[in-house]
A and B are shown apart, each in its own frame.
Chain A
Amino acid sequence: MSALVLLSVLGVVLLYLGLFNGRGILAPVGILGLVAAFILFAGDWHLESPLFGGLVIFDTYARSFSLVMIVVTVLLFLFGMDYYAKVRENVAEHYALMVFSLVGGVLICSFTNLVVLFLGIEILSIPLYILAGGKRDSFRSGEAAFKYFLQGAFASGFLLMGLALIYGATASFDLPAIAAWSAVATNGGNMLFLLGLFLTLAGLAFKVAAVPFHFWSPDVYEGAPTLITAFMSTVVKTAAFAAFYRFIANIQLPGAVENMLVVMTLFTLFLGNIVALRQTQFKRLMAYSSIAHTGFLLLAFLGTDQRTPDVLFYYLGTYALATVGLFVVLSLAKRAALGDENIRIFRGLFRNDPWIAIAAMLMLLSLAGIPLTAGFVAKYRVFVLGIGNGFLWTTLFAVVMALVGIYYYILVIREAFTPKDQESKELVVAPINWLVISLCGAGVVALGVWPALLRL
């Protein structure tokens, strides 16, 4: 409770700092607040505490995901110190909105009542609609915000309708009550419930960008400011997946819904990986790679057993780590290339700054799932879950798609290790960015070698 309140207050404090010209201390204050929230969360580890009359429970699952989101936000704030250094206006709002969005993320990790799920998703999303349009003089950014808002509103409508139908069938918003109701065999074929589940899952699938609810993600990723893109593909994705799993883990899913999940997994894996092959803009590539990773995570949903939350947690945490680092590298390269986002801008990175190139390579290898990086362990566990729970062919398909995935990551690595053809501006790495990139690069290897470091 205290952590949740602290985070909300932190957002307001940041807004006030912006009013009173405290630009210089925005990020430090934000980081301080986040660290405090981290300590509060970590403080009562393993204590299950129902809040708000049982609407929210901070169990180990909720706490762990909250902690990861906070850590990633800290990394992003560190990145923000350099990223916003030259921006004059509305910096405080950016920080504050990210913190508000984080509050929503924390809520949807810990809900036990579907109303909180809806509220949390709205609290998570509404700041994002604004943040996506963060570059106010950029047409692309405005387009991204508008697209995200329209489609997001639509998805919220689906979600709300679905929740209402579930309520109609089960007469409760409480997850345990719904779980108990769905466990009764005769209720499996209830049409109202089925429809409700479909619509709810569609709403959640929109948030995790699963096919066919993925259309927003490439445009929004590309248009939004890089820092916000990084925020969306890490913190928001983690929160959405945590909520998704929390929802379906408790409910006895009818066969039709399971089939829908299988189909969604297959299509997400296919589309994400195949379309990513043709991308030359790095942000779009990351958007499709994000969709592809959604596919792998959905595979972990299919084979649900007691190990699934652990696998999700590890996967999302390590994915976030690699993604944040890569977006920092992107923003540096983009600055040196005067705003270009083609993957060619990474050319000559190794000559320019070997350590940054090696760190970027490690992160890309992690996303690709090459051994000794965290991404390998994550994918490996997903495959074990998939085969172990009887989804042999789906897993085989995922393995093939993992190979496709390796191809487009390797192309980026290849650029980084190819000498530049024409002279362009030197890449300048601020110490703070160097720190973030190094942390992420070393992190994916450390977590790959000692996977036990990151577990529920």
Chain B
Amino acid sequence: MIAALLLLIPFISALALVVLRPAQARPIALVSTLASLAVVVFAWISYAGGMVLHYDLDWMNAWGLRFVVGYDGVGLLMLILTAVVFPFIIGAGYGQQHDRPAIFNALLLFTQTFLFGVFLAQNALLFYIFYELTLIPVFFLLLYWGGENRRNITVRFFIYTLLGGLSLLFGLVYLLIQSGGNGDFTALHSLNVPGGTQVWLFWILFLAFAIKLPIFPFHSWQPETYYMAPLQGTMVLGAVMLKMGLYGVYKIVFPIVPLGVEHWQSTVILLALIGAVYAGIIAFRQSDLKRLVAFSSLSHVGVLCAGLFAWNTYGISGSLYQAFAHAILVVGMLYLVGAMHERLGSTDMNAMGGLKGAMPRLAALFLLVLVNAVALPLTQSFVGEWLMFAGLWQVDGWLTLLAVSTIVLGAIYMLYAYQRVMLGPDRANQQLADATTRDHLYLVPLIAVTLILGVHPGPILELVDAPVLQLLSSLSVN
């Protein structure tokens, strides 16, 4: 029931928006996402551990594709993340002028449907189908509503991501043949792929997620795409879509090619951290607020990936926890970018400065969002980062040092950005509106989530702990 509702609520609302084209599309979309959120909250409350399977239907049985949907703790966390973030993504549309709002919001809801599908799928091919489908609405969001030079950037983004996708498909088909045509995750997880094969199969499977995240050196599509995309599109990409990469690694790469992971673990961690430091340095040099967010996201994702590949309870749980924190953070930051754009007509930081005088409340909200970005204690990010570093420490001390340095870098570029936007002499010299009710309604819940989960991370960590322990113990048995 829950799975059906999650897939149908956004899908039917989206179809209704496309067909009926109501003038007030945004409230309808908002109600739809809130309904999904309610369903997810219900699922969370009634979740009692283990794997919850909802449907198990034949589709193309002979070819390994079956419609199996359900979730375990990690899947549920991802569902919660998606459901929590989407009302904010739709809500960010207030204050933005869009051509064809009905189609725009419908595309967002289609994306949400497919994302739910990705996190619900318990069959590898079903996962793949939803994974690729998320690209289609995003492609049109970028192509039709994107900024400058969108035509080329969108196509590059699409092809780049599909390169990973097709590589994943090839790997899955290969595994499918090995398992005798059974594509369910349970069947694939119990495969014992020979060690030599795992070494190359690891990259075939991981490439998709490495591009999706993205980690260095597969990141070149990311900054331009984030910058060019419409604000809500960037939110979708940064807050939710890249989490598919983490989830995919957890769901596919770890259990199926553990020996491959062991073989490449330090390489991947090193690449991810190099990317994180590199992106942090570039972020420092940005003069555009939206670009800054893009690079800071790239930097955070590097740490997320490194934490995941620490491959122990601390690392994996921390990374998944931090994925949630990062989603909230990205939405908050981007909303602020949008708020600045609304007031000043641009996101160039050179044109800002001293805005605190004109808008003290917004400056305060900005700072509260920012403390999460720099992983100050009592924020959600602190918990996640701390766990990841603890996990990395068990792998290698020097790598941990590298990872910690990204936090320092993060603090530098974030606070420097704050300084350039809010402090100093007033360069804008305009009468600017302070935070409105809408801004408060938007940012206060986000900040509240951050602080509550920063102080009391238990509920989320409980979800993750059991499946992660189970994964790791099943691997050590093999």
Contacts and interface: CB of A to CB of B under 8 A. Distances in A.
A107 interface: no
Nearest to B144: A417
Interface stretch (B7-15, B25-33, B162-170, B470-478): B162-170
Nearest to A404: B159
B173 A406 contact: no
B408 interface: no
A383 interface: yes
Contacts of B158: 406, 410
B128 A371 contact: yes
B162 A383 contact: no
A420 interface: no
Interface stretch (B132-140, B210-218, B264-272): B132-140
A50 interface: no
B110 to A, nearest CB: 11
Contacts of A370: 132-133, 136
A451 interface: yes
Contacts of B154: 414
B155 A411 contact: yes
A403 B163 contact: yes
B384 to A, nearest CB: 32
Contact of B151 (A376, A396, A414): A414
Given A383-B169, A406-B159, A417 B143 contact: yes
How many residues of B sit at the interface, in one of the four size bands?
A: 20 to 34
A392 B63 CA distance: 17
B143 A451 contact: no
B159 A381 contact: no
B174 interface: yes
Nearest to B135: A370
A384 interface: yes
Given A384-B177, A387-B173, A417-B140, A402 B166 contact: yes
User: What does DSSP make chain A's interface, helix, strand, loop or mixed?
Assistant: helix
Contacts of B177: 384, 387-388
Contacts of A403: 159, 162-163, 166
B133 A410 contact: no
A309 to B, nearest CB: 14
A217 to B, nearest CB: 26
Contacts of B139: 410
- The CB with the most chain A CB atoms within 10 A, among B64, B128, B144, B166, is that of B166
- The CB with the most chain B CB atoms within 10 A, among A371, A387, A411, A452, is that of A371
Nearest to B164: A403
B137 to A, nearest CB: 12
Given A384-B63, A406-B159, A371 B170 contact: no
A429 interface: no
Interface in A391-448: 392, 395-396, 399-400, 402-403, 406-407, 410-411, 414, 417-418
A432 to B, nearest CB: 23
B41 interface: no
Contacts of B388: none
Given A406-B162, A407-B159, A399 B151 contact: no
Contacts of A388: 177
Contacts of B85: none
Interface string B170-199: 100110110000000000000000000000
Contacts of B163: 403
A399 B176 contact: no
A395 B159 contact: no
Nearest to B131: A371
A315 to B, nearest CB: 13
B20 interface: no
Given A371-B128, A414-B155, A418-B151, A365 B63 contact: no
B143 A383 contact: no
B17 to A, nearest CB: 13
A328 interface: no
Contacts of B159: 403, 406-407, 410
Contacts of A411: 155
A291 interface: no
Contact of A380 (B62, B144, B173): B173
Interface in B111-154: 125, 128-130, 132-133, 136, 139-140, 143-144, 151, 154
A273 to B, nearest CB: 13
B60 interface: yes
B136 A365 contact: yes
B253 to A, nearest CB: 18
Interface string A361-395: 00001000011100011001101100110001001
- The CB with the most chain B CB atoms within 10 A, among A307, A380, A400, A406, is that of A380
- The CB with the most chain A CB atoms within 10 A, among B64, B167, B169, B176, is that of B169
A383 B128 contact: no
A371 B155 contact: no
Contacts of B128: 371
30 contacts: A365-B136, A380-B125, A380-B169, A383-B169, A383-B170, A383-B173, A384-B63, A384-B173, A384-B177, A387-B170, A387-B174, A387-B177, A388-B177, A395-B170, A395-B173, A399-B166, A400-B166, A403-B163, A407-B155, A407-B159, A410-B139, A410-B158, A414-B143, A414-B151, A414-B154, A414-B155, A417-B140, A417-B144, A418-B151, A451-B60
**CB-CB nearest 9 A-B residue pairs:** A371-B129, A371-B132, A399-B170, A388-B177, A383-B173, A399-B166, A403-B166, A387-B173, A387-B177
Interface of B: 60, 62-64, 125, 128-130, 132-133, 136, 139-140, 143-144, 151, 154-155, 158-159, 162-163, 166-167, 169-170, 173-174, 176-177
Given A380-B125, A387-B177, A414-B151, 6 more contacts: A370-B132, A372-B129, A380-B173, A402-B166, A406-B159, A407-B155
